Chains A and B, each alone.
Chain A
C-alpha cells in the first residue's frame, strides 16, 4: 500500500536536491543560503527586514522578478531556515504569488508545513545529515553537545535542528523538549561561536541586494527615470543616493 506522506516527503527531498543542483551546490556540503550567487540570474531580490514576531518571511512573485524578505530580528540560524522556506514558495508553490509566512516551524497550512520540510531538506540533505550523525562520538544523537555540533555544521537554529531530528526519529519529543533550553549559554560553554543563535545588530537589520539593483542601475544609466524617482527607489531599499565612499581598502 502506498504511503501518501512518504511520497510527499520523497518529493520534497527531490525538490530540495534539485534546487541545490540548480544553484550549483554540492549535495553533501552545508550552505549559507544568503551567499547564493544566483540572485541576479534568477531575478531575485533578497531583503532582510524586521518583520515583527509573528512573521518569519515573505515571498512575492511579481512581473519584475521575485522579492524574498526574511525577518532580521530572528537568529541567523533561524533566518537561514526562513530563507530556504521561502525558496520553496519561490520555486515550487504555485498556489499564491504573494505569501506572508508565520514564525512557528512545522505548523500552519499544509503548504507552510511542506515549505518547512523542504527547508529542512535543503539545508540538511538526508545523506549529509546521516553522515554527520555517523561522525558523532557514539554515532548517534545522545547529548546536547551532539545537537550543537550538528546545528553549527548546518548553520540552523536549535528549533530547526530539533524539528528535523524529531521528525527523523533521531531524538524523542521528550529529549527535544529538554534540549530547547539554554541554547546560547550551552553552545558557549562548549566553545562555539554563538552568532548563529543571535540576530544581527540593529544597524544591519535593513538590507536589500540582488536583482533590484540591476534593474535600477540599468534604468538610471539610460536616463529612463528622473533623479527624484531614482532617489525614491533607492530609499525604498534602505539606501541613500549619496556618492559612494572610497572603497580601495580591502
Chain B
C-alpha cells in the first residue's frame, strides 16, 4: 500500500496537535531528529512503515489513518504537560495503546464473522 506522503504528514500533524504532543516528543519516541518529524509533517520526507506503526500506537490510532487521512478518530488526550513526559513514558503509553488497538482489532474480526461479542 502506497502512502501519500503529503496526506500522511498532514494527518500526523493534525493528530499530534489534537493529542497535545510536540514534534520533540515524537522525535524522542522514535529516536530521530526533530527535523525529520517536521519535514514529514510538511510532506518533504517520508517515514518507514515500522515508524508509522509506532507513531500510530503512540497516538492510539489504527495505522491506516495515515493512508486514509481520516481525522475523525478518537485520539490520545494527555492530562499532563507534554514537556513533562519522558521517552519512557511515551513507550509505556504506546504499549498500553497497542493493547487497546488489539482489542479493537479482535472486536472487528468478531463482528465480521458474526460472533457474539458478549462475554
By a beta-carbon cutoff of 8 Å, the part of chain A in contact with chain B is 40-41, 43, 45, 47, 49-52, 54-55, 58, 60-65, 67, 69, 95-102, 108-109, 111-112, 208, 211-212, 214-216, 218-219, 222, 224-225, 233, 236-237
Instruction: Determine how close the nearest CB of chain A comes to the CB of B76; give it in whole angstroms.
Output: 5
Bound CA span A43–B104, Å: 11
Give chain A residues whose Cβ lies under 8 Å from the Cβ of B113: 222, 224
Q: Does B110 count as interface, using CB distance less than 8 angstroms?
A: yes
Residue in chain A with minimal CB distance to B60:
A98
Bound CA span A99–B75, Å: 9
Residue contact A52 to B89, C-beta cutoff 8 Å:
yes
Residue contact B92 to A98, C-beta cutoff 8 Å:
no
Bound CA span A222–B109, Å: 11
In the assembled complex, 8 residue pairs joining A and B whose CB atoms fall closer than 8 Å, in A order, are: A51-B89, A62-B101, A98-B60, A101-B80, A102-B84, A108-B79, A109-B79, A236-B95
Instruction: Determine how close the nearest CB of chain A comes to the CB of B50; give it in whole angstroms.
Output: 14
Bound CA span A212–B75, Å: 21
Interface code B82-101, partner A: CB below 8 Å = 1, 0 otherwise? Answer: 00111011001101111111
Question: A49-B96, A52-B88, A112-B79 are contacts. A211–B102 as well, Cβ < 8 Å?
Answer: no
Q: Does B14 count as interface, using CB distance less than 8 angstroms?
A: no
Bound CA span A219–B115, Å: 9
Residue contact A214 to B119, C-beta cutoff 8 Å:
yes
Interface size class of B (residues with CB under 8 A): 35 or more
By a beta-carbon cutoff of 8 Å, the part of chain B in contact with chain A is 60, 74-80, 84-86, 88-89, 92-93, 95-110, 113, 115, 117, 119
Residue contact B110 to A218, C-beta cutoff 8 Å:
yes
Give chain A residues whose Cβ lies under 8 Å from the Cβ of B75: 98
Given A60-B100, A69-B99, 16 more pairs with CB closer than 8 A:
A43-B119, A47-B96, A51-B96, A52-B89, A54-B86, A60-B60, A60-B97, A98-B97, A100-B77, A100-B80, A102-B84, A212-B102, A218-B110, A224-B113, A225-B109, A237-B99
Residue contact A64 to B104, C-beta cutoff 8 Å:
yes
Bound CA span A101–B119, Å: 28
Residue contact A219 to B119, C-beta cutoff 8 Å:
no
Residue in chain B with minimal CB distance to A96:
B77
Question: A98-B76, A100-B78 are contacts. A64–B89 as well, Cβ < 8 Å?
Answer: no
What does DSSP make chain B's interface, helix, strand, loop or mixed?
A: helix
Give chain B residues whose Cβ lies under 8 Å from the Cβ of A99: 77, 79
Residue in chain B with minimal CB distance to A40:
B119
Instruction: Determine how close the nearest CB of chain B comes to the CB of A205; give it in whole angstroms.
Output: 11
Question: A55-B89, A211-B119 are contacts. A97–B103 as well, Cβ < 8 Å?
Answer: no
Instruction: Determine how close the nearest CB of chain B comes to the CB of A249; give it in whole angstroms.
Output: 28
Residue in chain A with minimal CB distance to B93:
A100
Residue contact A54 to B80, C-beta cutoff 8 Å:
yes
Residue contact A62 to B119, C-beta cutoff 8 Å:
no
Question: A54-B85, A64-B106, A108-B79 are contacts. A45–B60 as well, Cβ < 8 Å?
Answer: no
Instruction: Determine how close the nearest CB of chain A comes to the CB of B71; give it in whole angstroms.
Output: 14
Residue contact A102 to B96, C-beta cutoff 8 Å:
no
Residue contact A219 to B110, C-beta cutoff 8 Å:
yes
Bound CA span A60–B95, Å: 12
Question: A67-B103, A100-B79, A236-B98 are contacts. A219–B89 as well, Cβ < 8 Å?
Answer: no
Give chain B residues whose Cβ lies under 8 Å from the Cβ of A41: 119
Give chain B residues whose Cβ lies under 8 Å from the Cβ of A58: 93, 96
Residue in chain B with minimal CB distance to A51:
B92
